[in-house]
Structure 1
């Protein structure tokens, strides 16, 4: 799945946080709700504009961001 078809970031929407296209539902919110035990079905019931593919795109986006994260090691003084 290509999350770029479902996730967008625009400085005029939610201060530029990544959101599900066409909504103000942030990737962060989706991940937080999932980590609290909500199911995809729960999320779709709470947010009628949300689709299962949107939840999967949020997960894919998060894993891609983490996979491409750069870690800078500083020498301990």
Structure 2
């Protein structure tokens, strides 16, 4: 799967945040929902246009970001 087929960034949509193609559903929103305890089933019920492939693409996108070191460093001593 190619995450670029599902995740896009457009400066005119949500200030350029990565979103699911053809929607205003941001990667950040999906991650926030999962982090607060939502299940995949809850997400798909609340966002019926979201497909399983879109969710997989979000995780592939994040994996690619991590591999390319596109993340914030976290210093536990700070």
For normalisation by structure 1, the TM-score amounts to 0.84
Give the Cα separation in 2 of the matches to 1:49 and 1:11.
22
Aligned residues: 71
What is the aligned partner in structure 2 of residue 12 from structure 1? 12
Secondary structure, counterpart of 1:33 in structure 2: helix
Larger radius of gyration: 1
Unaligned runs of 5+ in 1: 72-77
For normalisation by structure 2, the TM-score amounts to 0.83
What is the aligned partner in structure 2 of residue 44 from structure 1? 44
Q: Which runs of 4+ in 1 moved over 4 A?
A: none
Cα RMSD of the aligned pairs, angstroms, is 1.5
